[in-house]
Amino acid sequence: MQAVVTGLLTGLFVLFFNFSINHIFDAVQNFTMKFPTGKRLLVLPLITMFGGLISGLLVFKFAPETKGSGIPYVKLALSRLGKGIRVRSLFVKLFAGIAGIGSGLSLGKEGPSVQIGAGVGALTSKLFKIRGTSQYNLITAGAASALGATFNTPLSGMVFAVEELTQKFSASLLFPVMVATAVSVSVIRFFAGDSPTFHIPKTTASVMFTPENLVVYVVLGLLCGVLGVAFAKNIFANLKIFNKMKSVPNWLKPAIAGLVIGSFGVFLPEILGTGSIIVDKCAAGNYSIAFIALIFLGKFLATAFCFGSGAAGGIFLPTLLLGSLTGGFVGLVAIKSGVDVNLANICVVGIGAFLAAVARSPMTAVMMVFEMTGNYHSILPVIFTVALSDLIAEKLNHAPIYTTLILKQNANSDYAEKLSEITGYPVEEDIGYETPGSFGTYAGKERNIPTITLELPEDKSDEDLWEEVKGIFDFCTDEI
């Protein structure tokens, strides 16, 4: 019963989240396109800056744990170290993500969706007064069902929960995950249809290896491995840059990112928002080699910059986009060199290979490519190239990005050594990924379920407005 409720609520929240982002983004683009370039250079950056400002205020004033993707925070909470899942984070992540991504920040919606789903699991646990392992299983189920609902990929959502979020397998965990995911994806399909996320031309026959195309897949795997690691390092570099801006309030940093990205977006609108339509166009052969390289560079830089600012948004979908562009680049070069390859197939393979390099989740990558494209004919090249890309990332000493974010953001915590022991990776320097909020500090040392201590300022004259608004969320202050 609890898993059904979790899946139902998660599906509805994700449906509202996706619908809001898509329609706000389309409205912003249609509105600004009416202006000539000169005026658009003034209007669009102001809109993206305002969206970033709303996102920053919501995140840093009400729930600092909703900063960035949300997946590292959920992983950390499920490990029962440091912090727990607050129901408040569900609503903050929801509206902060809509404001930032909808206005045009170059981020994905899957990370926020996962944290929203985890918040739904926490809410369900609170409503049914569930504690202990069953509670954490529901939170995992909410996160998995959210990813499945976001991309209409139920199998990938379940595999992601086991491979990435919990890294364990048990019947008690699998049952609520399966039920919640089935229900949430059913909600999405009922209201939005069951078409795949990407509309890529399908091949009519199974793709077999030949000496020529095998070389292409090897090159693609090597390139995705190297570029995927570079993308992760670029993200860490931008986190450091924004962390060094000590004189700038944290809530203002997403607005800065919005102003910069909006300005560049006037000349290259493909870098704005989630950019999912680019995958379809790239696979259809609508872009030249030079333009693919330009979009890749723009998205490569823009996503890392927006993510480093602390805006509520993920890197999962941008990673898939960069993979398709890498595949499109390699495919077009191969075609111009006289190699007989299918461009759409190469783009599909690139999606999985790039994701495997960045997230180091090869099983999720293979499963997601199959579900998101509805194309099973490319499964053999996908498996081969994903494995090669993951191997390259391993040889370059690249840890899974969500694990690395956890280690970096908790480098100075009391449980840093425990994290290193669990993950098998060394704790690195603190990059300031997570900053305490102005309304609360977190406690919970040596406890299975952390607690929250609220510290209000002594002089509340400057905070009266915030306190009144914050009162709306008092019912969900408790941590789960």
The pTM for the full model equals 0.84
Write down the pLDDT at residue 431.
58
8 A C-beta contact, residue 373 and residue 284: no
Of 72, 71, 91, 78, the closest CA to residue 13 belongs to 91
Backbone angles phi, psi at 442, to 5 degrees: -110, 140
CA gap 469, 152 in Å, rounded = 35
Backbone angles phi, psi at 391, to 5 degrees: -65, -40
Cα dihedral: 122, 127, 128, 134 (round 10): 10
Write down the pLDDT at residue 73.
84
Write down the pLDDT at residue 168.
76
Crossing angle of helices 343-359 and 401-409, in 10° steps, is: 30
Write down the pLDDT at residue 446.
34
Please name every residue paired with 453 in a beta bridge, in sequence order, or none if there are none: 441
CA gap 203, 201 in Å, rounded = 7
8 A C-beta contact, residue 354 and residue 220: no
Per the listing, tokens 């393979």 go with 349
SS3 65: helix
SS3 247: coil
DSSP states along 331-387: HHHHHHTT----HHHHHHHHHHHHHHHHH--HHHHHHHHHHHHT--TTHHHHHHHHH
Residues 77-131 pLDDT 10s: 887 765 677 878 889 999 999 999 999 999 998 889 999 999 999 899 888 888 8
Torsion-angle region of 105 (φ positive above 0: left; ψ -120 to 50: alpha; else: beta): beta
Ranges of residues in the chain whose predicted pLDDT is under 50: 433-463, 465-480
Torsion-angle region of 7 (φ positive above 0: left; ψ -120 to 50: alpha; else: beta): alpha
Write down the pLDDT at residue 72.
85
CA gap 184, 190 in Å, rounded = 10
**DSSP count for the chain of H helices, then E strands:** 19, 2
CA 411 centroid distance within chain: 22
3-state helix, strand, coil in the chain (%, to 5): 70, 0, 30
In this structure, which amino acid lies at residue 36? P
Residues 259-305 pLDDT 10s: 999 999 999 999 999 888 898 899 888 999 999 999 999 999 999 99
CA gap 380, 43 in Å, rounded = 47
